[in-house]
Amino acid sequence: MSAQPQRLVSALDLGSTKAVALIAEVTGDPRDAGCRILGVGVERSGGIRRGVVRDIEETTRAIDKAMKSAQRMAGVQVGSLYCGIAGEHVAGRSSHGMVSVTGDEIRTSDVARVNDMASNISFGRDHELLHAIPQDYLIDQQGGINEPIGMTGSRLEAEVYLVTVLSSVLQNLRKCVERAGYHVADFVLEPLAGSLAVLTADEIELGCAIVELGGGSTNVSIFHNGKIRHTGSLLCAGGHVTADIVHGLQVTQLDAERLKERYGAGFEPLVPESDVIDLPSTPGQGARNAQRRVLAHIMHMRLQEVLEYALDEVTRAGYHQRLPAGVVLTG
């Protein structure tokens, strides 16, 4: 392989149906950097369920295959990676911190102290802090401040959004990555990383929900006034769509996935009534076909349920009708 570029970053997304590895070269000014994709690797896997390792050997195998594919495409070798994490074992909460300021103006050390104060709370023995994301600052009770460094005041307060995760989940994910021969540089909340890829600055500022439909879970994250405000996980996801097709059309899970990918539609009225598809059959079933709208109806009903649950999540978070930029679907 060729020499590794100096500004290289590797990422790993472990889902319920596949492992995806990506290698990119960081480009441009570090303060406003971009990236150039060098390699991508995808490997089917059933070792993860709803973000939790269920089979260490299978997960390790998928990581190994996906990373090797990405490295072959990129023509480089990597030793460490960033690993995405999401699911019901991830929780978010707001926290408040306050410190007194000495001197004429607020310094970087003051901001670090108030952020640490807000983050220094008990999560219990089985949880640990993943991210501490500053939301807003107040100087002498005057809020709406994004960058307090250099400003004058005697009291600095911070509202910080804390993302925590079940420690055993991190430990098992790290174990799988290390068994595959790599080092985890850090874990990253997937909805936070995904927002940087699919949301515009205006959407994040105005207010937007990103709904990420995965195989085992659906993640809902809310952005408003330029910051992440809420994250949650729903148990209803793409795997439920596949299961509905299995039962509705009497096909295997593998065939249900193929039908979904080849003929599926999430909105039934978009499918012409005249469309007919051949159904995979066992010898006992004989040759079969069905209107494509039957498949679309099965998918439509389940996806409608997912979106209703997502709306409930947005409403519980207090952001119903407060997101002018609407909802962005990804997954």
Q: What is the largest CA-CA distance in the chain?
A: 84
Q: At residue 191, does pLDDT exceed 90?
A: no
Cα–Cα distance for residue pair 151/165, rounded to 1 Å: 35
Q: In the 8-state DSSP scheme, what is residue 280?
A: P
Is the pLDDT confidence value at 1 over 50? Answer: no
Q: Cα(191)–Cα(210) distance, rounded to whole angstroms? A: 8
pLDDT at 78: 93
The conformational region for residue 281 under phi > 0 = left, psi -120 to 50 = alpha, else beta, is beta
Task: Give the confidence band of 284 by pLDDT, cuts at 50, 70, 90.
Answer: confident
Asked whether residue 6 carries a pLDDT value surpassing 70, the answer given is no
Domain borders along the chain are 8-87+168-198, 90-167, 200-331
What are the tokens at 272?
A: 């012409």
Q: Are 50 and 28 in contact (CB under 8 A)?
A: no
Residue 199 has pLDDT above 50, yes or no: yes
What is the pLDDT confidence band of residue 86, given thresholds at 50, 70 and 90?
confident
Could you check whether 90-167 and 200-331 share the same CATH topology?
Answer: no
Mean pLDDT, to the nearest integer, of 165-171? 93
pLDDT of residue 287: 85
Most confident of 27-41, 44-58, 231-245, 297-311: 297-311
Mean pLDDT, residues 47-67: 91
Q: What length does the chain have?
A: 331
pLDDT band at 125 (very low <50, low <70, confident <90, very high): confident
Label residue 210 by pLDDT band (50, 70, 90). Answer: very high
74 CA to centre of own chain: 24
What are the tens digits of pLDDT across the range 250-261?
Answer: 999 999 999 999
pLDDT at 331 over 80: no
* Strands 183-189 and 80-85, bridge-based pairing: parallel
pLDDT band at 197 (very low <50, low <70, confident <90, very high): confident
Fold classified for 90-167: Dna Ligase; domain 1 (3.30.1490)
> Is the confidence at residue 291, as pLDDT, over 60?
yes
Tell me, what amino acid is at 128?
Answer: E
Q: From CA 180, how far away is CA 55, in angstroms rounded?
A: 14
Q: Which fold, 8-87+168-198?
A: Nucleotidyltransferase; domain 5 (3.30.420)
How many C-beta atoms surround the C-beta of residue 280 within 10 A? 15
Q: What percent of the chain has pLDDT over 70?
A: 98
What CATH topology corresponds to 200-331?
Nucleotidyltransferase; domain 5 (3.30.420)
pLDDT-above-90 percentage for the chain: 69
Residue 3: which pLDDT band, with cuts at 50, 70 and 90?
Answer: low
pLDDT, mean over the chain: 91
Helices 253-263, 238-249: axis angle to 10 degrees equals 110
4 has pLDDT over 80 = no
